[in-house]
Chains A and B, each alone.
Chain A
Amino acid sequence: MTKTVTDVICPFCGTLCDDLEVVVSDDGKQLLEVYNACVIGTEKFLHSQSKDRVTRPRMHQPDGTWKEISYDEAAEYTAQMLAKAKKPLMFGWSSTNCEAQSVGNEIAEITRACCDNTAATCHGTSLIAIQDIGLPSCTLGEIKNRADRVIFWGCNPAHAHPRHMSRYSIFPRGFFTGKGQMSRKLIVVDPRVTDTAKMADVHLQVEQGKDYELFDALRVAFKGEWLPDFVAGIPKEKIREVADMMKSGRFGIIFFGMGVTQSLGKNHNIDAAIAVTKDLNEYTKFSIMPMRGHYNVTGSGEVFGWQFGFPYAVDLTRGFARYNPGDTSTIDLLVRGEVDAMFTIGSDPGAHFPISAVKQFAHIPSVCIDPHLTPTSGVSKLHVPVAFNGVECGGNCYRMDNVPIDCRKVVEPPEGMLTDEQFLIKVRDRVKQLKGAA
């Protein structure tokens, strides 16, 4: 016999779909089938059942092999590493729950570490811009029910957030958007002809690295001022047409992704995008939302914000929180050789950071806490596999629109495996002893 668990939350992307159905064996130990999820989400659930999964912590040996150790030994190594370091770096947090993040922040505070999440390589620049000029935003539900102007700028949800378009942004029939896709105008701004761009009413094929100029041109067009003949490869008539299309909507939304946050201009691109949104509110109702990647990167920002006052790149080395990306941000810290211990959890910097930053892992003690085998776990001195959050344990997560959703446990983890939170509590208690904190 099998049983079906309904209303399961998908721990893959920031869309945090909450309508999955998962079939598990009667004893709750095996996960058999996944329904309603996209292909990536399905794979995430099924991967927990893979036969070659690592289930115990492993130490990298000098000859390149791995030696299995106990969770207690792993916690001891991690605690010693963090307690001894002058400037430890605790990075990741985006693929674990808020409870684990909070325990991690306790450790960071005791050891006076630098802490950062994966916003470092995705929406960190958005967070800078949000601090600079604010963020007029809304929830995904409002978009489903109201939005008749949808702009995807530098993002490709067809591949990165596969169910975003069907659940919220393009296809759903909402309260005021009864005709679904027919009631919406879709504008895509992307230098490439992506699968999202192919669906658009208007595709602005902006020249790479000139998004900032195009945002500025739109603002000029709203005011009806002079424009040069071409901006970022787009003729001025087209820019004025798009500006009018945006102004004429009843409720508009700009979604933006890595194409603008990590291309030339960075935080200024988002700054300008938010300014465009503000300007549009002179004529109609407009909102803007970052397309967050990891399913709980938003939650990590929330927990950092709640506990330290800043959403990422927090430096606690002096005993108080400082925040200045460029100085306190992970990639800069690694590339400049500013840290002497590297702790990674729930992310894979080994696959996403510049190689000059990843090379630093080799020179300093390093721990990687991750259920998967990743480039990061491969280059770290210690790899601690843990239960899959959202599959084998529950916990709080935040959707890309800052709505908190509790993930659910659907299947038992392999016997004897700890969750992120359980392992971090072990480390925290040992760090407290080492540092003499009460």
Chain B
Amino acid sequence: METVTITMKNPPALYLEADNVSPDAFAGKTAAQIAELHVHEGNVTSTLGKYFDVSGNAGATAVDTKIIVKGDVKKVKYLGFKMSAGELVVEGSTDLYAGAWMTGGKMLVKGNAEGFAATAMKGGELVIEGNAGNYLGAAYRGDWRGMSGGKILVKGNAGSDIGMYMLGGEIIVNGNVDVHVCTHAEGGKVIIKGNAKSKVGGQMVDGTIYVFGSIDTMMPGFKPAGEIELEVDGVKAKFAHYIGDMGERHKKKKGQIVYANLYKKI
């Protein structure tokens, strides 16, 4: 695997849209060619090389390419946009749309990621060592197809609206989350190791949520369905089981109505 390192040398006055920073866009290019790729600051289009030092050549394909992003990229959007393979490591914190629409490969953010990370993710793995913003693994605005595959791990806290319209895949948040988890979801699995606030599973059709900590306000549409012993992400514990959202439409499978499941650790 070849490694390309890009280091911020000339931070933008506004915000930078760097949707070409992905193993797919870098693949098969030399450092000089990578420096010529487009970035956008507002309505001005310029090159990656204007803002970043680029060293190292990319591999022949995305699979053989690893990118390391160094320096202050707190004002850089779209890192890892639509990546399908390879690796991307952001050494600090980054702005909106980290790993948005990714379909494969591994992305690691060592700091925080702002909103819309892993929007409509289809595959691959995104690890955020700090905190994630709002709309983690959610659908893009107006779309009804959210995250459908892959895995997201947030070691810190996450914001509101995580897993909105989720169809599949897995989100694990080690910390706490804000309001609205899996709104409108029709599949997938979300594990919250910390606390959740309210509106957990609102309008949920299908899918599963596990909450290890507290939930401030339960949705009235989630009906108690007993207690159950489960092993979740390596932890064995007793969970209170709820099914819902009883107000929402549900599919039938083999004559049985399929509800979404919410498990809260006792």
Give A residues with C-beta under 8 Å from B.
85-87, 111-112, 128, 131-132, 210, 212-213, 216-220, 222-223, 225-228, 231, 264-265, 268, 271-272, 275, 279, 316-319, 323-327, 336-340
Contact B219 A213, beta carbon cutoff 8 Å: yes
**Size category, B interface:** 35 or more
- A339-B14, A340-B13 known; 9 new pairs, CB 8 Å cut-off, are A112-B42, A213-B220, A216-B247, A219-B246, A225-B246, A268-B183, A271-B184, A324-B116, A327-B116
Cα–Cα distance between A14 and B183 once the two chains are bound (Å): 31
Contact A216 B141, beta carbon cutoff 8 Å: no
Which residues from chain B contact A112 at a C-beta distance below 8 Å?
42-43
Q: Which of A85, A220, A279, A317 contacts B220 (CB 8 A)?
A: A220
Q: Which of A87, A226, A228, A268 contacts B43 (CB 8 A)?
A: A87
Which residues from chain A contact B248 at a C-beta distance below 8 Å?
219, 275
The B contact surface, by secondary structure, is: loop
Which residues from chain A contact B221 at a C-beta distance below 8 Å?
216-217, 219-220, 225
Which residues from chain B contact A339 at a C-beta distance below 8 Å?
14
B245 within 8 A of A: yes
Q: Which interface residue of B140, B142, B247 has the most chain A CB atoms within 10 A?
A: B247
Contact A340 B199, beta carbon cutoff 8 Å: no
Contact B140 A216, beta carbon cutoff 8 Å: no
Q: Please name the residue on chain A nearest to B221 by beta carbon.
A: A216
Cα–Cα distance between A111 and B245 once the two chains are bound (Å): 47
A131-B142, A327-B96 known; A226 and B183 CB under 8 Å?
no
Q: Which of A86, A128, A272, A319 contacts B202 (CB 8 A)?
A: A272
B239 within 8 A of A: no
Cα–Cα distance between A433 and B141 once the two chains are bound (Å): 36
Q: Which of B17, B141, B218, B223 contacts A324 (CB 8 A)?
A: B141
A226-B223, A326-B135 known; A220 and B14 CB under 8 Å?
no
Q: Which of A268, A317, A327 contacts B42 (CB 8 A)?
A: A317
A271-B203, A324-B140 known; A216 and B218 CB under 8 Å?
no
Contact with A along B11-31 (1 / 0, CB 8 A): 001110100000000000000
> How distant is A332 from chain B, measured CB to nearest CB, in Å?
9
Which residues from chain A contact B203 at a C-beta distance below 8 Å?
216, 268, 271-272, 275
Cα–Cα distance between A279 and B245 once the two chains are bound (Å): 14
The 5 closest A-B pairs by CB, nearest first: A219-B247, A86-B42, A87-B42, A112-B43, A225-B246
Which residues from chain A contact B220 at a C-beta distance below 8 Å?
213, 216-217, 220, 227-228, 231
Contact A337 B14, beta carbon cutoff 8 Å: yes
> How distant is A17 from chain B, measured CB to nearest CB, in Å?
34
Contact B183 A340, beta carbon cutoff 8 Å: no
| A-B contact list, 22 entries, CB within 8 Å | A87-B42, A210-B217, A216-B202, A216-B203, A216-B245, A217-B220, A217-B221, A219-B246, A220-B246, A227-B220, A265-B179, A265-B180, A268-B180, A271-B183, A272-B203, A317-B40, A318-B43, A323-B142, A325-B141, A326-B141, A327-B77, A336-B15
> How distant is B93 from chain A, measured CB to nearest CB, in Å?
14
> How distant is A105 from chain B, measured CB to nearest CB, in Å?
16
Contact B40 A225, beta carbon cutoff 8 Å: no
Contact A86 B44, beta carbon cutoff 8 Å: yes
Q: Please name the residue on chain B nearest to A324 by beta carbon.
A: B141
Contact B142 A132, beta carbon cutoff 8 Å: yes
Cα–Cα distance between A132 and B96 once the two chains are bound (Å): 21
B115 within 8 A of A: yes
Q: Please name the residue on chain B nearest to A128 by beta carbon.
A: B141
B134 within 8 A of A: yes
| 8 A Cβ contacts from B203-218 to A | 203, 217-218
| 8 A Cβ contacts from B171-187 to A | 179-180, 183-184
Cα–Cα distance between A317 and B135 once the two chains are bound (Å): 23
> How distant is B183 from chain A, measured CB to nearest CB, in Å?
6
> How distant is A342 from chain B, measured CB to nearest CB, in Å?
13
Which residues from chain A contact B144 at a C-beta distance below 8 Å?
132
Which residues from chain B contact A227 at a C-beta distance below 8 Å?
220
B41 within 8 A of A: yes
Which residues from chain B contact A111 at a C-beta distance below 8 Å?
43
Which residues from chain A contact B217 at a C-beta distance below 8 Å?
210, 213
Q: Which of B43, B134, B247 contacts A223 (CB 8 A)?
A: B247
A216-B247, A317-B42 known; A86 and B14 CB under 8 Å?
yes
> How distant is A182 from chain B, measured CB to nearest CB, in Å?
32
> How distant is B6 from chain A, measured CB to nearest CB, in Å?
21
Q: Please name the residue on chain A nearest to B97 by beta carbon.
A: A327
> How distant is A235 from chain B, measured CB to nearest CB, in Å?
12
A219-B221, A223-B246, A326-B134 known; A213 and B13 CB under 8 Å?
no
